[in-house]
Amino acid sequence: MIALVDANSFFCSVEKVFHPGLRGKPVCVLSSNDGNIVALTPEAKALGLRRGDPLFKVRHIVEQHQVALFSSNMMLYAAMSRRVIRILRRNILHVENYSIDESFCYLDGYERFYSLEAYMRGVVEQIRTWTDIPVSVGIAATKTLAKVGSKFAKQYPGYQSVCLIDTEEKRRKALSLFPLDEVWGIGRSTLSELNYLGISTPLQFADRSEGWVRSHFHLPGVRTWMELNGKPCIDTAEVMRNQSVCTSRSFGEMVEDLPHLKEAVIHFAGSCANKLRGQRTIAGAVTVFLTSNRFRQDLQQYSNAATRTLLVRTSDTLEIVNRALDALKEIYRPGIWYKKCGVVLSDITPDKAVTWDLFDPITNRKERDELMATIDRLNQRYGLKSVHLAGDGSLSSKGPHDEPAQQPWRVKSEHRSGDYLTDINGLLTIEI
C-alpha cells in the first residue's frame, strides 16, 4: 500500500504557524511581485476568492474582510517542508518526496503489525504537534488512488485526516464520487476527449476495457486507467527526473541595462544548478529567454531565447553560468525595457550517466565536482546562498542603513515574512 501525505493549504499553514492570531481567519499567499493569489485558506475561499485571482481585482474583498496577505517565501516553506519530511522518515522506512507539500510513503509490510489508518493518524498527529502543520493522508494500492484518498481526507472531517481505500467496494465508491477533472494525470485535452466519449466520472473511465483505452489514448492515459484499477505503474521519481529545470521571474521593476540582466541570469542559473545537484542529475543544454513588458504597448516589444549545448553534461554552477551568459549576450538588445527573464536546463539525465568528450576544454572536472559538493555542504549547514557567486548581485552597493540595495530585477515582496528557520537574524522575538 502507498500513502500520500499532503499538507493542507501548505503555504498558508506555514504562515499561520508563525502568526497564531490568524487561526480561523482568511489568509492568502501571493505570487511573484505580489501579483496573484497562489494559495489561500478555506476561510478565504468562502469569501469568493480563488487561486489565480489578480490582487488588484479582488482588493475590495481583501480590505472589506481584512484578509491577511503574505508574499511567497520559498525559503521558509522549504525549511518547514524539510521538517515534515524528517518526521515522515522517522516513522516510515521508504519516503519519496514528490513536491514541497506532498510525499509518497510506501507501507508494504506495515499491515502485518499495525492498522494502517491508526498508524498514519499517529504520524499526522506527530506532524501537527511538532510543526503545527495539518496534513491529510490517502492510502491505496496505487499513487493515483492515494491522491484521490487524500482529497477525501482533506474535504471530509469524518475521515480524521486519513482515508483508506483498501477494498473494491471503497475503490468504486470513491471513483464514482470523485471529480473527473481532479484525477491525477487527466489534463484539459484528455478531459475534453473523455467528455466527448461520454465519460463523466473516473469510475466510468476505469470500467472501460484495456483495448478500448489503448485505442483512444496514448501511454499516459493508459497508465492513469491502470492506476485507477489498482495496478501501480507510475514511477514518480522517473517522472521528476525527466522534467526540465527552470528558474524565471517577472522583475519588480523593468530593466534595460545589461549588467543588471547579467546579475539576474547568474542568480537564476545558479539556482538551476543547485536544483540539479539536489536531485542528482546533470543537464546537457542551457536556455536563456528575455521578454519585454507586453502590457506596455507604448514601449518597444521584444522577446527572444538562445540555447547553448554543453559538451559534457554537468551540474557545475560555474560552467552553467558561463554558458547562460553567452546565451544572454546573443539575445540582448539595448534600448529595450525587459520585464522577465529565465534560465532553463534541459537534456537531463541521472548524474551517473556522464558521457566524456575527448576534446573537453575543462581538465579538472573532478576538482570542480568536489568544489560544488563543498559549497552545497556549507550552504546546507549555514543557510542557502551563504556561499554564492559574487556576480549574482548579492554583494551590490549598499542602500540606506548599510543594507544591500534592492536590485530592480528582484521581485517585490511587500508582505514577506522573515526567514525564521534559516536566518539567525530573522529569529522571532517574543515580548513577555
The answer to whether 220 and 189 are in contact (CB under 8 A) is: no
DSSP state of 201: S
**Which of 3.50.50.60, 3.40.190.10, 3.30.360.10, 1.10.150.20 is the CATH number of 167-242?**
1.10.150.20
Residues 6+ apart with CB under 8 A from 247: 268, 269, 271, 272, 275, 342, 343
Helix axes 365-382, 317-331, angle to 10 degrees: 100
Over residues 262-267, the mean pLDDT reads 89
Superfamily for the 1-165 domain: Reverse transcriptase/Diguanylate cyclase domain (3.30.70.270)
Non-local (6+) Cβ contacts of 47 within 8 A are 26, 61, 65, 67
Residue pair 282/313 in contact (Cβ under 8 Å)? The answer is yes
β-pair partners for 283: 314
Reported as a single tens digit per residue, the pLDDT across 144-153 is 999 999 999 9
pLDDT at position 315 over 70: yes
Taking the domains of the chain in order of start, what are their residue ranges?
1-165, 167-242, 243-392
On the 0-12 / 13-18 / 19+ scale of CB atoms within 10 A, 430 is exposed
CA atoms of 77 and 89, how far apart (whole Å): 18
- Give me 406's grid cell: 534592492
Evaluate whether 299 touches 333 at the Cβ level (below 8 Å). no
SS3 296: coil
pLDDT of 14 higher than 80:
yes
- Give the pLDDT band (50/70/90) at residue 368: confident
Residue 272 CA to residue 341 CA, distance in Å, equals 14
Dihedral sign, Cα of residue 381, residue 383, residue 384, residue 390 = negative
Span 38-66, mean pLDDT?
89
Dihedral sign for Cα 203, 209, 212, 216, please. Answer: positive
What's the rounded mean pLDDT across residues 371-384? 80
Task: Write the CB contacts of 199 (distance below 8 Å, at least 6 apart in sequence).
Answer: 180, 205, 208
Q: Which of 76-85, 256-265, 418-427 has the lowest mean pLDDT?
A: 418-427
**Lookup: cell for 225:** 486507467
CATH T-level fold of 243-392: Dna Ligase; domain 1 (3.30.1490)
Half-sphere exposure of 383 (CA within 13 A, CB side): 11
CB 203 within 8 A of CB 175: yes
SS3 of residue 306 by DSSP: strand
pTM above 0.85, yes or no: no
> Which of 19, 8, 81 shows the shortest CA–CA distance to 422?
81
Which has the minimum average pLDDT: 6-15, 50-59, 261-270, 396-405? 396-405
